[in-house]
Amino acid sequence: MKRKDILRKLEERLARGEINEKTYLEIKARYDSEPEESEPSQPTMPDLGEAIGAVVAQATAEAGRHAEHAAHAVGEAMRAVDFSGIGTQLSEESIKILGSGVVSGNPVKTVEFKSAGSARVQGPLEAETARIAGSCVFEADVHVEEFRSAGSTRIAGTLKAEEVETSGALQVDGSIEAEEISSSGSLTVKGRVDAEEFRSSGSVR
């Protein structure tokens, strides 16, 4: 029972003459000297809408940060290679020059490099495959798994590949390091040729 209820009942008993005023004052003084008990606070239930909103906001913020990071990484990779010209197509997995174009980077890194026009690569090329059907000049090293040339190709550096196949004119100012070389056109190498298997039915210098 709360203190105010007890005091109210004491006042009623005093009014009815059941207790005298002295007793009433003594009891009242005793209760007044004690701290009033506070009612236990009801546990507040979190608002369900606010809780859901907070979770959604946090998830959205995290997703936004991840998307921003991914976009930044892709942007950095794309900015690492510059290109210009007509018919030049650049994506994350391939570089295609179907007309006349120049690509540059340090290195120029891709999965597939294709040239069917007049191309120039400024910087070392790193790719899985390189296919040339037109005229192409590499101003630095070429490091690929598969190199196929059916046009006129000049490499100012070294050519490193598992398989080299040329049916056009290939000039390498540096050396060639390959497991297999097959040439049915004109092959000119100013440096050394290191190959496990070498086949030629054309001109070799």
pLDDT tens, position by position, 191-204: 999 999 999 888 88
The 10s digit of each residue's pLDDT in 54-70 is 767 777 777 777 666 65
Q: Which of 25 and 48 is assigned the larger pLDDT?
A: 25
Q: Indicate if 28 and 109 belong to the same structural domain.
A: no
Residue 113 burial (CB < 10 Å; 0-12/13-18/19+)?
buried
Q: Indicate if 106 and 200 belong to the same structural domain.
A: yes
State the pLDDT at residue 82: 60
Domain presence at residue 46 = no
Domain, as residue range, for 148 = 82-204
Which tokens hold the place of 173?
A: 């100012």
Q: Indicate if 113 and 174 belong to the same structural domain.
A: yes
State the pLDDT at residue 47: 59
DSSP-derived letter for residue 116 is: S
Q: Indicate if 104 and 179 belong to the same structural domain.
A: yes
User: In which element (H, E) is residue 67 found?
Assistant: helix 48-79
Domain presence at residue 56 = no
User: How many domains does the chain fold into?
Assistant: 2
State the pLDDT at residue 23: 81
User: In which element (H, E) is residue 9 found?
Assistant: helix 3-16
Residue 41 scores a pLDDT above 80:
no
Q: Indicate if 113 and 196 belong to the same structural domain.
A: yes
State the pLDDT at residue 74: 42
Work out the mean pLDDT of the chain and round it to a whole number: 81
Residues near 123 by beta carbon (within 8 Å), at least 6 away in sequence: 104, 105, 106, 107, 108, 139, 140
Domain presence at residue 72 = no
Q: Indicate if 120 and 182 belong to the same structural domain.
A: yes
Q: Which of 205 and 3 is assigned the larger pLDDT?
A: 205
Domain presence at residue 55 = no
Q: Indicate if 1 and 88 belong to the same structural domain.
A: no
Q: Indicate if 31 and 86 belong to the same structural domain.
A: no
Distance CA 177, CA 162 (A): 8
Q: Indicate if 117 and 189 belong to the same structural domain.
A: yes
Q: Indicate if 9 and 107 belong to the same structural domain.
A: no
Domain presence at residue 147 = yes
Q: Indicate if 89 and 153 belong to the same structural domain.
A: yes
Domain presence at residue 126 = yes
Domain presence at residue 150 = yes
Residues near 184 by beta carbon (within 8 Å), at least 6 away in sequence: 166, 167, 200, 201, 202
Domain presence at residue 172 = yes
Our CA dihedral for 98, 101, 102, 108, rounded to 10 degrees, sits at -20
Q: Indicate if 183 and 91 belong to the same structural domain.
A: yes
